[in-house]
Amino acid sequence: MKIFIFGLALFISSCLNSQQANVTEAKEFPVITISSGKLRGVTEGDVTSFKGIPYAAPPVGEFRWRPPQPVIPWEGVRDASNFGATFAQSGWGGAPGSIQKGSSEDCLFLNVWKPSEAAKNAKLPVMVWIHGGAFVGGSGNTSGDGFAKKGVILVTINYRLGRLGHFAFPALSREHPDEPKGSYAFMDQIEALKWVRQNIAAFGGNPENVTIFGFSAGGVSIHSLLTIPSAKGLFHKAIGHSSGGRDGVLTGRPIQEENASPYYPVSAEAIGINFARKHGIEGTNEAALAKLRALKVEEIVDGGQENDGQGGPRIYSGPILDGKLVTETAESAYKAGRQAHVPLMIGCNSAEIGGPFVNASTSKEQLFSLFGEFAGEAKAAYDPDGSKEFSEVQTMFNTDKVWAEPARFTAKSFAAIGKPAYIFLFSYVPSSMKERMPLGPGHGTDISFVFNNLGERSFGPPPPPPSPDDQEVARMMNTYWVNFAKTGNPNGNGLPKWPVYTAERNEILDIQSDGKPVAKPDPRKARLDVIEKAVIKGDNLQQNGI
């Protein structure tokens, strides 16, 4: 199932990628100085961009499966007019033994967009985007013009993916005992945030007003950053798109067997041993680790496979609970009030993903039976008169279980510590997608509206031109997000009021199917309530390892 969501998330991420700047048409080539050297960017109209900026040394050779190392300073002026490589990945449908064009193990680059007239001392709000792709694909090489034009500095990052982003092995656990282990993707994201704190003032940004936001796996990363102790203080607001918030979906596999959980009974180290054996590497000592580090990157990416291709042992783990960097799951931290005390926006789309994403039920009756003693309540919430097709019920259930109920749970936890939380529901289907999305907008549909970069694509034929309604929804959503980045409150002149979430009022902002944003009590309350009851009772609705 991870492969399915990876394909959809990767497609959305790819659709966001803008065409690289044609520097021959640019008006100016400004030069700025950061901690590692001078950069030459590109100004086009009222936006200046600096692309392909290294924020850490290449994670290759001896630094494969090590925390990010310091950037090597450069002499002279570094050209920052083009994107750097994305992290090595097979791409959707990629064959074993190959990686996608433009991807590389040397990928720790970030990009910055700023208003071209912003002075160095402008202290503009900063947003840091973390892309999705199920932690095995995707790209941060996206257009940031929509934010820069509204007075926000946007930073997008690339980070390690797949078995290079999340990996454990006994010899790795023993090597450099002072270092964190396992989730190198999160280490990269934290290093990028440290880079922002050190350097963003040179672009006119305020290092004391940083908002992190992400989609899908990037949204899971937001929850992790909110709860990883070493990320504390590196950001001041957070936004999660289709991000979950409870255990069970890409939240953290224990590094060793003794810490196994109902969701992840096999440890990350055991999975690392499976992967080594697939490549004929036996043992768990330093010699075996040296052989792993000697593998070609194409062999490690391996077509994005979760197992050996024959249905055998699992060979990709996802995020890892190592006990040092990642000390607990987000759900555990939220229940105890140990998360970062910052304002939050969180939400999802109304019809994220259909099919057997959460479970293999083939009928409504079989699905409702998973609720145990709450089966009757589930039927009343999802299909009160028995008229809905199974595909619609299944899509609603997938969306609610993986994204909507966890988002509400997360918002409640922030309200409980006295921090404002705002829940959104995206129900608008773009004009060009209505036939393909009859039940509502699918996973990632909201992102190009938030970025206000409709119609931009760096591959394939041009997308259909956005309609006036599409453009208005994009303008409105981008403005809400910009307001939140500036003040911690998404509201502002000319926008319908978005109420802060409270459990008592249970109000959300629904960007409705007609494109109009409306504040109202959450219409999904009965559905989310019965899922919450089943989760608290003992979670008969456990995920199947996605």
Backbone angles phi, psi at 32, to 5 degrees: -130, 165
End-to-end CA distance of the chain: give it in Å, rounded.
6
Backbone angles phi, psi at 153, to 5 degrees: -90, 125
**Residue tagged 């939050």 (tokens):** 344
Backbone angles phi, psi at 473, to 5 degrees: -60, -40
What whole-number distance in Å separates Cα of residue 143 and Cα of residue 19? Answer: 8
The residue annotated as part of the active site, out of 104, 216, 317, 413, is: 216
What whole-number distance in Å separates Cα of residue 62 and Cα of residue 69? Answer: 11
Structure tokens at 437: 């999305």
The residue annotated as part of the active site, out of 13, 131, 443, 448, is: 443
What whole-number distance in Å separates Cα of residue 83 and Cα of residue 42? Answer: 12
Backbone angles phi, psi at 200, to 5 degrees: -70, -25
Told to judge if 143 belongs to the known catalytic residues of this protein, a careful annotator would answer no
- Measured CA to CA in angstroms, residue 518 lies from 242, 351, 363, 526 at distances of 20, 18, 33, 19
Told to judge if 183 belongs to the known catalytic residues of this protein, a careful annotator would answer no
The residue annotated as part of the active site, out of 191, 269, 328, 352, is: 352
Told to judge if 216 belongs to the known catalytic residues of this protein, a careful annotator would answer yes
Contact 498, 491 (CB under 8 A): yes
Maximum CA extent, the chain: 71
Compute, in degrees rounded to 10, the torsion defined by CA atoms 414, 416, 421, 423. 100
Residues forming the active site: 216, 352, 443
